[in-house]
Structure 1
Amino acid sequence: MVKGKTPHVLSFINLKGGVGKTTTAVAVAEILALEARQRVLLIDLDPQTNATVNLISEEAWDELDRSGRTIAQLFDDKINHHLEPKFDIERAIVRRVSTVNGGIEALDLLPSSIRLIELQDHIPGIAMMGNFTNNPLDILKKALQPVIDRYDYVIIDCPPSLGTVTRNGLRMSTGYVIPTIPDIVSTWGIYQIVDNVRRFAADIGQTIEPLGIVATKVQKNNLHDRVMNDLAHGRLGKFNAAGVQQPRFFESTIPLSVNVARGADHEADLRTLNGKYGPQAYVALQVLTREIWALCEANSQ
């Protein structure tokens, strides 16, 4: 990482849970760090904490959460601004994370917490609590300022909503990726994501481009084939009728894999990413990561 260089910051978003969003975000972060030799920070903004416990053990996460070293403490400090702040970005970031081979040297994690569930509804009102110097949308961006230029890529796993927590991620993002199962229910909200992010970016005077849509948990059936064909030809849902261009469809599609659950097992003694994700899914995730990397590097020219 060149000192002072702006990293690529990518949010992974879908309004529906269970679509492989977190698995895709974690895998892209791991491959960028291990194989592309990029310095990567993964930020887990989802209170389900799936990305966190995919990269560190539940015991390690519990200790971090109890000691105020998760993203929840950052927001808690701003909500309870009359109390002495506890969050310290240097102490919260966990270095060298992954279930693979004891951790990946170039991959760091800012962990999440289930406490975000109870905090997230209070975040929009921070400025109205007498804390007028704090914009609720800038909390994450300001917290990362001391460390952001250490990284080439920042991958943000967003919750399945477009609320204030997700907008904190988007506020610092240079682009976003939409993982989706290629079925009707999972793709239904993609137009809403693109339209909302486009309007949000315009409101804050920022460019946040969709890098693309990636099909996940793909199975060999007529429905998945038909939806992927629509995605490949820009025919998804309301885009044409609304006059909004559908984001590109990534060439790489991620097959449904039985290895994913095992990949989050810290007792499984995993040595390689191939072993973590399974050969077929791993190759697809490699190709996807190369596509994302190429787009980011082209955009920075």
Structure 2
Amino acid sequence: MTRFFLDTNILFKQRFVSELSRRCDACSHRICVSALVHMERVFQLRRQKGVDFDPAFVDSYIATHKIEIVAFDRDAADHVAKILGTEFPCDADWQLAKWLRCAQAVGQDRAPPASPRSPATLDWLIARHAAGDNIVIVSDDRGSEFPISVRRVGQEEALEIAALGEGETMIAIAMVNRKGGVGKTTLTLALADFLNAIHGFRILVVDMDPQSNASLTMLGEKRWVKCDQDCKTVADIFAEVQKNGSIPAGFGKALVISGIERVKGVSGTLSLIPCTPRLQQIEEELMEGDAAWRYVMGSPYFLLHAALSKDVFPSFDFVLIDCPPALGVATLNALTAANGYIMPTIADHVSTIGVSQLDGRIRDHSKGIRREIKRYGTIVNRFKSATILHRTILAEMRAKPEFQPVWDIIVPDTVKAEEAYAKHEEILTLRGRYGQESHIYFQALGQLAEEFIRRVS
């Protein structure tokens, strides 16, 4: 949930506030205004309208748009209320009173400047309470009074953020690692099988990797080729925008292949949106023509979200997004559409190098889209417990913040993993695909699915 705090210059822009209210009403977002902003705006209206001012208009407007009035600092709010109740001070008096009260509230022990109108001290108070919370300040004021740590956006950006919450009733997880060969696809498919077959969850796998291994494994080669020829892949979301500048209504739904049967006796609740190598070419064109794409769509990183988050994702309990071994446009689209990410890795130097940079890049992207992308942690895959190197690196991972949390269940390195992948066109029981229930690989995956439910739900 995001709380949108409206600045004085935004509060009574009715068309914008009405649309923001509509979008917030469709999800769990809230519109708020600080008591000081509210009082300042009322004061301005009273001065402008004089005896014609009707206080009931403000109360009705606030109630109609479901705006919550928040008193960040009761002393400051009471002080302003007393001013409003006794006299109409001149602008300088008003700004000076606001400066002194807000400076006191945030512990700023210094005298006001010669012109108390700048900077706006009210923003200090808002910023103090916004730090660390999922709060967005909506303001047309682009001055320097807002600290960098505070998310401040204009009207268009606020509406874009509000739209991110619409329809998010499921949980979407991006499987991310810059290093290839760590078992992202194998682990994604195993989790899909166990969550679907044992726990009965409705699972959608979204293949974002141009190598298309998840698609080939789930569909078989003939069926996958037909999807590619019919332009029914995730790459065609990007191609559609590239060609026509928009995503038609229902476009994402048409890409979903439902009723995939991988586990004998379980069908109808495992679905896929396949990928194709064409995505790599489109991604390269996206990166080369970033400015042109931004002109058409606002940002090339919201395309997957626009096509799937509202129309497709709510039909499932979990969405697993298999990402390529790179942090390009495809992976950033997956992260924008997801609630958070999991990093599968092998406990060796090659697979774990650069994780801090990956974590920092994702945090930067999260700030860029102004929405939290939760780090659900690290799954250690293909672990060789007899190897000193693996045991040593696992211990180091448990101590480093960029890997946290390291999941309790460690997936062992076993030939069963390769056998399960090799039997991709066969419909088998879980035991036939992943070994008997007594096998360490079957047990690890079963326990991993339970830990997945516990950690991400």
Name the TM tier (shorter chain). Answer: 0.7 to 0.9
2:210 counterpart SS class: coil
1:108 counterpart SS class: strand
Q: Taking structure 1 as reference, are residues 80 and 130 closer, same or farther at Cα in structure 2, changes over 3 Å only?
A: farther
Q: Shift in Å at residue 127 of structure 1?
A: 5.5
Aligned residues of 2:215 and 2:272 also touching (Cα < 8 A): yes
- Counterpart Cα distance in 2 of 1:81 and 1:101: 42
Aligned residues of 1:211 and 1:292 also touching (Cα < 8 A): no
Q: Shift in Å at residue 179 of structure 1?
A: 0.5
Q: 1:177 aligns with which of 337, 342, 347?
A: 342
- Counterpart Cα distance in 1 of 2:243 and 2:360: 33
Q: Shift in Å at residue 131 of structure 1?
A: 5.5
Q: 1:149 aligns with which of 314, 320, 327?
A: 314
Aligned residues of 2:203 and 2:317 also touching (Cα < 8 A): yes
Q: For residues 65-108 of structure 1, what are the alpha-carbon distances to aligned partners after superposition, in whole Å with 9 as ceiling and x for unaligned? A: 000001111111122227998x9323321112243227643111
Q: Shift in Å at residue 268 of structure 1?
A: 3.9
Which residue identity lines up with residue 271 of structure 1 in the other structure?
A: T
Q: Shift in Å at residue 269 of structure 1?
A: 4.4
Q: 2:301 aligns with which of 123, 137, 153?
A: 137
TM-score by length of 1: 0.87
Once the two structures are overlaid, the 10-residue window that deviates more, 192-201 or 116-125, is 116-125
2:419 is matched with: 262
Q: Taking structure 1 as reference, are residues 84 and 249 closer, same or farther at Cα in structure 2, changes over 3 Å only?
A: closer
**Within-5 A mapping of 1:1-301:** 6-81=169-244, 88-101=251-264, 104-124=267-287, 125=289, 128=292, 132-144=296-308, 145-219=310-384, 220-232=386-398, 234-235=399-400, 246-264=403-421, 265-272=423-430, 274-278=431-435, 279-297=439-457
- Counterpart Cα distance in 2 of 1:212 and 1:96: 30
Q: Shift in Å at residue 211 of structure 1?
A: 0.8
Which residue identity lines up with residue 296 of structure 1 in the other structure?
A: V
1:199 counterpart SS class: helix
Q: Taking structure 1 as reference, are residues 100 and 202 closer, same or farther at Cα in structure 2, changes over 3 Å only?
A: same
- Counterpart Cα distance in 2 of 1:218 and 1:204: 35
Q: Taking structure 1 as reference, are residues 153 and 48 closer, same or farther at Cα in structure 2, changes over 3 Å only?
A: same
1:156 counterpart SS class: strand
1:254 counterpart SS class: coil
1:154 counterpart SS class: strand
Q: Shift in Å at residue 202 of structure 1?
A: 1.5
Q: Taking structure 1 as reference, are residues 129 and 15 closer, same or farther at Cα in structure 2, changes over 3 Å only?
A: closer
Aligned residues of 2:220 and 2:425 also touching (Cα < 8 A): no
Aligned residues of 1:13 and 1:176 also touching (Cα < 8 A): yes
Q: Taking structure 1 as reference, are residues 211 and 91 closer, same or farther at Cα in structure 2, changes over 3 Å only?
A: same
Aligned residues of 1:96 and 1:103 also touching (Cα < 8 A): no
Aligned residues of 1:14 and 1:179 also touching (Cα < 8 A): yes
Which residue identity lines up with residue 196 of structure 2 in the other structure?
A: A
- Counterpart Cα distance in 2 of 1:277 and 1:64: 28
- Counterpart Cα distance in 2 of 1:134 and 1:103: 42
1:138 counterpart SS class: helix
Q: For residues 219-256 of structure 1, what are the alpha-carbon distances to aligned partners after superposition, in whole Å with 9 as ceiling and x for unaligned? A: 12100111111222x23xxx5xxxxx542111111112
Q: Shift in Å at residue 266 of structure 1?
A: 4.0
Unaligned runs of 5+ in 1: 240-244
Q: Shift in Å at residue 181 of structure 1?
A: 0.7
Aligned residues of 1:52 and 1:61 also touching (Cα < 8 A): yes
Q: Taking structure 1 as reference, are residues 25 and 47 closer, same or farther at Cα in structure 2, changes over 3 Å only?
A: same
- Counterpart Cα distance in 2 of 1:103 and 1:142: 31
Question: Greater share of helix residues, 1 or 2?
Answer: 2
Q: Shift in Å at residue 162 of structure 1?
A: 0.8
> What RMSD, in angstroms, separates the aligned Cα atoms of the two structures?
2.4
Aligned residues of 1:257 and 1:277 also touching (Cα < 8 A): no
1:251 counterpart SS class: coil
- Counterpart Cα distance in 1 of 2:239 and 2:224: 17
2:115 is matched with: none
2:211 counterpart SS class: coil
Q: Taking structure 1 as reference, are residues 162 and 130 closer, same or farther at Cα in structure 2, changes over 3 Å only?
A: closer
- Counterpart Cα distance in 2 of 1:83 and 1:11: 24
1:242 is matched with: none
2:58 is matched with: none
Q: Taking structure 1 as reference, are residues 221 and 106 closer, same or farther at Cα in structure 2, changes over 3 Å only?
A: same
Which residue identity lines up with residue 231 of structure 1 in the other structure?
A: M
Moved over 3 A (4+): 82-85, 266-269
Which residue identity lines up with residue 13 of structure 1 in the other structure?
A: V
Once the two structures are overlaid, the 10-residue window that deviates more, 223-232 or 157-166, is 223-232
Q: Taking structure 1 as reference, are residues 97 and 103 closer, same or farther at Cα in structure 2, changes over 3 Å only?
A: farther
Q: Percent identity, aligned pairs only?
A: 30
Q: Shift in Å at residue 260 of structure 1?
A: 2.9
Which structure carries more relative contact order (alpha carbon 8 Å, separation 6+)? 1
Aligned residues of 1:127 and 1:134 also touching (Cα < 8 A): no
